[in-house]
């Protein structure tokens, strides 16, 4: 049985409007999923240092912003409530915990010491202050 063929070779001009429509859709998709989207969080400027050891124990993270507000598990928390939450976390785990104090570089030493004492009262043995590594441009200018 032979089937009839209706296919013909296209010899006219190509219409660009469908391609432009798809291009705009792809551009919108990329823009909405890029870094232009606001990412919630606390802006913390960590001090710079290099070649420091990492955390060996399971970490708990407490952030302190420039205004001295405490953040635990992505929520603002008062000092008394933070003490209760840290005690609860220490009781719930069988292994020792490490507290990572992500403090802005403008936070006073007094606030850091209050957090250090608070953490040691709750039973946390290892307390660390994270830093960010120096950028490549800062390293090259420092070497000159």
Mean pLDDT, the chain, whole residue set? 80
Q: Are 79 and 70 in contact (CB under 8 A)?
A: yes
Q: Could you write out the DSSP letters of every residue in 84-127? A: HHHHHHHHH-SS--EEEEEE-TTS-HHHHHHHHHHHHHHT--EE
pLDDT at position 140: 47
| Contacts of 29 by beta carbon, 8 Å cutoff, 6+ apart | none
Residue 33: the pLDDT is 75
For CA atoms 112, 114, 115, 120, give the dihedral sign: positive
Task: Give the residue extent of every domain in the chain.
Answer: 40-144
Structural fold of domain 40-144: Nucleotidyltransferase; domain 5 (3.30.420)
One pLDDT digit (tens) per residue for the chain, 144 residues? 777 888 778 777 888 899 999 999 999 888 777 665 555 666 767 677 776 666 666 788 898 888 888 999 888 999 999 999 999 988 988 888 888 888 888 888 899 899 999 988 988 888 888 777 776 445 444 544
């Amino acid at each position: 049985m032979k089937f009839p063929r209706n296919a013909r070779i296209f010899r006219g001009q190509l219409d660009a409007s469908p391609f432009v429509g798809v291009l705009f859709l792809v551009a919108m998709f990329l823009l909405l999923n890029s870094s232009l989207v606001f990412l919630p969080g606390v802006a913390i400027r960590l001090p710079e240092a290099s070649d420091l050891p990492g955390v060996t124990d399971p970490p708990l993270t407490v952030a302190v912003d420039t205004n001295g507000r405490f953040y635990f598990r992505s929520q603002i928390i008062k000092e008394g409530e933070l003490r209760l939450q840290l005690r609860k976390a220490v009781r719930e785990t069988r292994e020792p915990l490490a507290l990572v104090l992500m403090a802005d570089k403008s936070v006073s030493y007094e606030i850091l010491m209050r957090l250090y004492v608070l953490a040691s009262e709750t039973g946390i043995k290892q307390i660390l202050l994270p830093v960010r590594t120096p950028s490549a441009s800062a390293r090259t200018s420092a070497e000159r």
